[in-house]
């Protein structure tokens, strides 16, 4: 088929291109990171899995914080987070007040979480990482993405591959998006145009400050933020390494809604 031919051509190109190496930060002398888990009315058990995995990162506990930014303002989730935080001092919960009907979606939630981080003891971290509510990171995730951003002072954003653990047999709707993760995103990275793809990313806070926060006037704040950062002179990177596992929509209608957004 035509799409298979295109996939094969791009994969051949990628096979001879310059791949980013797998890197890991070692030891305890690592930068501080604020990890934001963006939540908006997802099932609480799904959010709990992500939060537990984020807290279990192979990273010094005093060098990262997990901030659950809850746009759904779930009292049940808040109670669970606050209870867990009693014995987990690097876990925090925040929910912004209603904003008078202004629709700034996930971008607004991320910007609120970054402002919230400034109020925590020690102030904001130098780096900010983000996870979707349903994306479970591997323990090595934070050391992997942070390694790429700290080695280059001009690197503003790094984002890894997304994998999924509830993919139906045969992937009839192409929800795995392998043509993106294994081809298009690598191709873009080869030409210096790595995209923030929504989850698993890490950014240099200064780079986000340079673009006045995540853009709230579009639905693709992730991609748009990386493009704006590049326009300000920051480098961006995509690393073709599976470090997180999420959920695809379980219905056709849910899939159409996700793609249309």
HEC string of 4-66 equals: HHHHHHHHHHHHHCCCCCCCCCCCCCCCCEEEEEEECCCCHHHHHHHHHHHHCCCCCHHHEEE
Judge whether 45 lies within some domain. yes
Domain count, the chain: 1
Q: Is residue 10 part of a domain?
A: no
Q: Which domain, by its residues, includes 37? A: 30-260
CA gap 188, 197 in Å, rounded: 12
Contacts of 14 (CB under 8 A, 6+ apart): 182, 183, 186, 187, 190
| Residue 236 domain flag | yes
pLDDT of residue 179: 63
How far is Cα 177 from Cα 129, in angstroms, rounded to an integer?
Answer: 22
Here the tokens at position 150 are 């700290």
What residues contact 215, with CB distance under 8 A and at least 6 apart? 107, 221, 224, 225, 228
Q: What is the pLDDT of residue 98?
A: 73
Strand order of the sheet with strand 235-246? 91-94, 64-70, 33-39, 127-132, 202-204, 155-164, 235-246, 136-137
What is the reported pLDDT for 205? Answer: 98
The confidence score (pLDDT) of residue 13 equals 59
- Tell me how far apart the alpha carbons of residues 196 and 36 are, in angstroms, rounded to a whole number: 15
Q: Is residue 1 part of a domain?
A: no
CATH number at residue 70: 3.90.550.10
Specify if 21 maps to a domain.
Answer: no
Per-residue pLDDT of the chain (261 residues; tens, 9 = 90+): 555 666 666 666 555 556 788 999 999 999 999 999 999 999 999 999 999 999 999 999 999 999 999 999 999 999 999 999 999 999 999 999 876 656 688 999 999 999 999 999 999 999 999 999 999 999 999 999 999 999 999 999 999 998 887 666 766 556 556 666 667 778 789 889 999 999 999 999 999 999 999 999 988 999 999 999 999 999 999 999 999 999 876 554 554 455 555
CA nearest neighbour of 129 among 151, 108, 114: 114
Q: Looking at the domain assignment, is residue 20 inside a domain?
A: no
Do β-strands 33-39 and 127-132 pair in parallel, antiparallel, or remain unpaired? parallel
| pLDDT for residue 126 | 98
Residue whose structure tokens are 């501080």: 32
Neighbours of 92 (CB within 10 A): 21
Q: Is residue 13 part of a domain?
A: no
**Is residue 96 in some structural domain?**
yes
Residues near 98 by beta carbon (within 8 Å), at least 6 away in sequence: none
Which residues pair with residue 237 across a beta bridge?
Answer: 158
Q: Using DSSP, state whether 130 is helix, strand or coil.
A: strand
């Amino acid at each position: 088929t035509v799409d298979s031919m295109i996939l094969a051509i791009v994969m051949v190109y990628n096979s001879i291109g310059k791949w980013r190496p797998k890197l890991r930060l070692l030891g305890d002398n690592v930068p501080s990171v604020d990890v934001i888990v963006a939540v908006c009315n997802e099932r609480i058990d799904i959010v709990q899995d992500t939060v537990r995995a984020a807290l279990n990162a192979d990273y010094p506990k005093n060098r990262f914080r997990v901030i659950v930014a809850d746009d759904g303002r779930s009292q049940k989730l808040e109670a669970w987070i606050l209870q867990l935080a009693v014995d987990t001092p690097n876990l925090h919960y925040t929910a912004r007040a209603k904003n008078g009907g202004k629709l700034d979606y996930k971008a607004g939630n991320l910007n609120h979480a970054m402002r919230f981080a400034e109020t925590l003891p020690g102030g904001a971290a130098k780096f900010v990482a983000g996870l979707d509510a349903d994306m479970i990171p591997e323990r090595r995730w934070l050391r992997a993405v942070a390694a790429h951003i700290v080695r280059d002072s001009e690197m503003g954003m790094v984002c890894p591959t997304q994998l999924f653990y509830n993919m139906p047999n045969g992937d009839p709707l192409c929800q795995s998006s392998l043509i993106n993760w294994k081809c298009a995103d690598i191709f873009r990275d080869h030409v210096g145009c790595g995209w923030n793809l929504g989850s698993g990313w890490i950014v240099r806070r200064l780079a986000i400050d340079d673009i006045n926060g995540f853009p709230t006037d579009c639905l693709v704040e992730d991609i748009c933020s990386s493009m704006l950062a590049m326009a300000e002179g920051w480098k961006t990177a995509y690393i073709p390494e599976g470090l997180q596992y999420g959920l695809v929509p379980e219905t056709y209608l849910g899939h159409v809604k996700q793609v249309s957004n």
